[in-house]
Amino acid sequence: MAERSFQKEVQQLKIASGDTFRGEGILAITKALLENGVGYVAGYQGAPISHLMDVLADAEEILTELGVHFEASASEATAAATLAASVHYPIRGAVTFKSTVGTNVASDALANLASGGVTGGALIIVGEDYGEGSSIMQERSHAFAMKSSIWLLDPRPNLPSIVKAVGDGFRLSEASNSPVMLQVRIRSCHLLGEFTAAENVRPPTTVKDALENPQRDYERIVLPPSSFMHEQEKVTVRMPAAVAYIGDNHLNEIFGPDDAPAGIVCQGGMYNAVIRALQRLGLADVYGQSDIPLYVLNVTYPLVDEEFLAFAESKSSVLVVEEGHPEYIEQALRALLHKSGSTTTLHGKGTFPMAGELTGQVMLDSIRLYLQENAAQLMPAQARASNAPSPEVDATLARALPARPPSFCIGCPERPIFAATKMVEQELGAHHIASDIGCHLFSINAPFNLGATTMGYGLGPASASAFNDSSAGRRSISFLGDGGFWHNGLTSSIGNAVFNNNDGVIIIVDNFYSAATGGQDILSSRADNKSKSTNHTIKHAVEGMGVGWVRQIDRTYDVGRVQATLKEALTTEVVGPKVIIASSECMLNRQRRVKPLVNKALADGKRIARTRFGVDEDICTGDHACIRLSGCPSLSVKTLNDPLRDDPVASIDQHCVGCGNCGEVADAAVLCPSFYQADVISNPGWWDRTCSRLRRRLITALQTRRDKRRLVFDEVPGEL
């Protein structure tokens, strides 16, 4: 069960031809796939296309009705390999994943796919995780397209263009027997907009048809001599066919006047940002009517040489707008001008910064600079005047602001694991800690500050491989999430550690979901998933892999137990990898699962206990040692109305979910007795009420007895 449900939204996938579709980019892409007769869809979740997988999962019924097969792949490599169904059969297939990390994982299958080529349209929808909001290394998918001869679409960021690109991609793929990559940027995925819907189309050939009529073509299989033939075919047949299709069908677009001394070539995805810069310079209107000619590359690879040369021909200079590094398009266009002996000058990086996101400000500054230097006569007077210095950033204000990196949610079951690790390090000294990809990577931030590297999904323990020296006085600790474990960690990390007798400690953080990507189910999920096979335990898999020392912890909030287990793992005489599986359900997903049940029980008048923690403000001394082992958003500090106090005391707000971490940490680290756990019982039964009444009577008697012998300074309840 994913974090966000699209049950309501997917109903829009059924709307009639001609109706207006209104929704997010990911939903629009799904609709476009159905309109283009897709036969199968697969993918692996990850921002920014996680929700595309969620939409597809929620739309499974609609897909099945149409005879479309949907699969949540084990990894991006699996997803890419799925496209093999389009090699021999005329079935349109689409896969999706996060790029460039997912494309890295998929590249083996992609290269093989692209070598043999395809019969049915093969579309790879990559969510380009680049720029603000990105969580990965900053690279470009463009290089993958070039190296494997996969054509790369980068449509203008509006729903009609993205929807059109899906159809163009399938047709281009079939026309050139090559896979096509459709690149959608972070903000396009969550772009709310409209387009006019067309009819959904049943796939002319389904996977069922293919299964029942198997085919093979020796020449499509990647092995010599065919592989040498494929290389030639790519340049002599497939690319020319692709270029012809792109040109003939005007996939790239030209806007603005025919005749001008300057022009702009941009990636389709950059179009809106370019127009905004031109709008601000008074050179384009609200509807994109531009005074500067624009050549918009909705296909960024391959380039259509004649198209570009014709665009450049009448202009004395051209500016290339290309996001990211290296500047492949600019280099290609520069070479093209040079080869053709053109006198048109070309500007790109240099006018633009060499690397980094082309934000609104960068775009405005760079385009203004280009025009000032090359076509100042086209600019309105005000725009020509150099930019007034931007207001200075108030240094005092900037310094005053605390950073706010992402962190563990309220009640996160991973927090106690890192609290225990920090405490073990306080006792046994610092260790080399290898991190992995997933929510658990937030351990690198305050308050835990644990973890030295992250090398890729499922590769945490693999990245500690070199640290395997039994004569060393310390062992490495590596982390791995359940998502990464099933993605490839089982073999790349666990199998490798077993085979090489790695002596390190591996902690597998099992939260029942692929949590960081939005709570999708995986093999070891505890949920009953009606279309997937779940409940395959990590412990069995690890033991099956040959690990001898395995400890399963079923409640990560037991900080003392995690601490003791980790200490044992670090000190035991046993040789080979020591694997600790720390399992507790992702709190975000748990709350989503449990809340409706609790509300219903309350409404039905059933007995319900709600647990929350609190801090006795008189007992808390304001040292915040508890926060240094927690960082929970609901554990904060507040100022007391007491002139004797200098420092704020700890305080727990009403968002607390009662996970128990505070109390457990206070106990395990021997902090202070100021935490209390309160179980508030609604609709108490007869037994509850009777016990409570009797206890009350005793407690009141004891309190009264004590108060009779002393002065009672009772605070008058009040609010500030």
Partner 1 sequence: MSSDPDNRLKPLASNATPVSDTSAGIIKIAIHAVGGQGGGVLANWISDLATRGGYAVQMTSVAGVAQRTGATIYYIEMVQKTDKRPVLALTPAPGDVDILIAAELMEAGRAVVRGFVTPDRTTLIASSHRILAVDEKVLPGDGRADSPLVYEKIKLAAHKTLCFDMESIASGAGSMISASLFGALAKSGELPFSKDLFEDVIRRSGRGVDASLTAFRGALNYDEGVPLVRFDSAPKVIGGDRSAAPVGPARLMAQWQSLSDQVTAMPEPVQKMAMAGLRKVVDYQDTAYGAEYLQTVQLFLAQDSGDSTYTLTTTAAKYIANAMCYDDIIRVADLKTRASRERRLRREQQADAGQIVQVTEYFHPRAQEVCATLPAPIGRRIENSPRLYGLLNKLVDKGRRIRTDSASGFLMLWCTSVLKPVRRRLLRHRVETDHLQHLVNTSLSAAEQSYPLAIAILKCQRLVKGYSDTHARGQSKYRMLIDALPALGGQSASAEQLSQLLELALQDESGDLLQAELAALTVNA
Q: What is the Cα–Cα distance from 619 to 154, expressed in whole angstroms?
A: 60
Nearer to partner 1, 147 or 697 (CB): 697
- How far from 23 is each of 172, 192, 287, CA to CA, in Å? 26, 5, 21
Q: Which stretch, 32-40, 283-291, 334-342, 572-580, contacts partner 1 (CB under 8 A)? A: 283-291
Q: What is the Cα–Cα distance from 396 to 441, expressed in whole angstroms?
A: 31
**Smallest distance from partner 1 to CB 652, Å:** 8
- How far from 534 is each of 1, 101, 581, 691, CA to CA, in Å? 12, 26, 17, 43
**Smallest distance from partner 1 to CB 634, Å:** 8
Per CB under 8 A, 297 contacts partner 1: no
| 576: exposed, middle or buried (Cβ count in 10 Å: 0-12, 13-18, 19+) | middle
Q: What is the Cα–Cα distance from 351 to 367, expressed in whole angstroms?
A: 8
Q: How many binding residues for partner 1 (CB under 8 A)? A: 145
**Smallest distance from partner 1 to CB 553, Å:** 17
Per CB under 8 A, 713 contacts partner 1: yes
Name the residue among 126, 82, 48 with its Cα closest to residue 300.
Answer: 126
Residues 398-427, interacting with partner 1 (CB under 8 A) = 398, 400-409
**Smallest distance from partner 1 to CB 436, Å:** 14
Per-residue binding string, partner 1, 507-546, x by CB under 8 A, is: ---------x------------------------------
Nearer to partner 1, 572 or 677 (CB): 677
**Smallest distance from partner 1 to CB 719, Å:** 6
Other CB atoms within 10 Å distance of the CB of residue 230: 20
Nearer to partner 1, 241 or 602 (CB): 602
Per CB under 8 A, 635 contacts partner 1: yes
Per CB under 8 A, 191 contacts partner 1: yes
Q: Which stretch, 36-44, 174-182, 473-481, 667-675, contacts partner 1 (CB under 8 A)? A: 667-675
Q: What is the Cα–Cα distance from 365 to 276, expressed in whole angstroms?
A: 12
Residues 559-598, interacting with partner 1 (CB under 8 A) = 560
- How far from 613 is each of 447, 564, 594, 680, 719, CA to CA, in Å? 20, 24, 19, 11, 21
Residue for token digits 């159905």?
34
Per CB under 8 A, 372 contacts partner 1: no
Instruction: State which of residues 377, 396, 470, 533 lies at the interface with partner 1 (CB under 8 A).
Output: 396
Q: Which stretch, 480-488, 521-529, 549-557, 671-679, contacts partner 1 (CB under 8 A)? A: 671-679
DSSP string, 408-424: PPTT-TTHHHHHHHHHH
User: Which run of H or E residues covers position 582?
Assistant: strand 578-583
Instruction: State which of residues 12, 30, 73, 272 lies at the interface with partner 1 (CB under 8 A).
Output: 272
Nearer to partner 1, 382 or 533 (CB): 382
Instruction: State which of residues 390, 470, 471, 533 lies at the interface with partner 1 (CB under 8 A).
Output: 390
Residues 315-334, interacting with partner 1 (CB under 8 A) = none
Per CB under 8 A, 197 contacts partner 1: no
Per CB under 8 A, 633 contacts partner 1: yes
Q: Which stretch, 12-20, 202-210, 245-253, 266-274, contacts partner 1 (CB under 8 A)? A: 266-274
Q: What is the Cα–Cα distance from 254 to 573, expressed in whole angstroms?
A: 71
**Smallest distance from partner 1 to CB 712, Å:** 5
Q: What is the Cα–Cα distance from 580 to 562, expressed in whole angstroms?
A: 9
**Smallest distance from partner 1 to CB 138, Å:** 14
Nearer to partner 1, 203 or 288 (CB): 288
State the amino acid at position 661 in one-letter form.
N
**Smallest distance from partner 1 to CB 672, Å:** 4
Residues 121-150, interacting with partner 1 (CB under 8 A) = 129, 132-135
Q: Which stretch, 100-108, 443-451, 460-468, 489-497, contacts partner 1 (CB under 8 A)? A: 443-451
Instruction: State which of residues 38, 63, 281, 659 lies at the interface with partner 1 (CB under 8 A).
Output: 281
Q: What is the Cα–Cα distance from 615 to 635, expressed in whole angstroms?
A: 9
Tell me the CB-side half-sphere exposure of residue 483, using CA atoms within 13 A. 24
**What tokens appear for 246 in the block?**
């792109």
Q: Which stretch, 30-38, 285-293, 536-544, 576-584, contacts partner 1 (CB under 8 A)? A: 285-293
| 119: exposed, middle or buried (Cβ count in 10 Å: 0-12, 13-18, 19+) | buried
Per CB under 8 A, 720 contacts partner 1: yes
Tell me the CB-side half-sphere exposure of residue 448, using CA atoms within 13 A. 28
Q: Which stretch, 142-150, 185-193, 246-254, 370-378, contacts partner 1 (CB under 8 A)? A: 185-193
Question: Cα 609 from chain centroid?
Answer: 36
Name the residue among 293, 291, 300, 290 with its Cα closest to residue 269.
Answer: 300
**Smallest distance from partner 1 to CB 256, Å:** 13
Q: What is the Cα–Cα distance from 166 to 141, expressed in whole angstroms?
A: 18
Q: What is the Cα–Cα distance from 541 to 248, expressed in whole angstroms?
A: 54
**Smallest distance from partner 1 to CB 698, Å:** 5
**Smallest distance from partner 1 to CB 348, Å:** 21
Q: What is the Cα–Cα distance from 586 to 591, expressed in whole angstroms?
A: 9
User: Which run of H or E residues covers position 345?
Assistant: strand 345-352
Per CB under 8 A, 714 contacts partner 1: yes
Map residue 636 onto helix, strand or coil: strand
Per CB under 8 A, 603 contacts partner 1: no
Peptide linkage before 203 cis (omega within 30 of 0): no
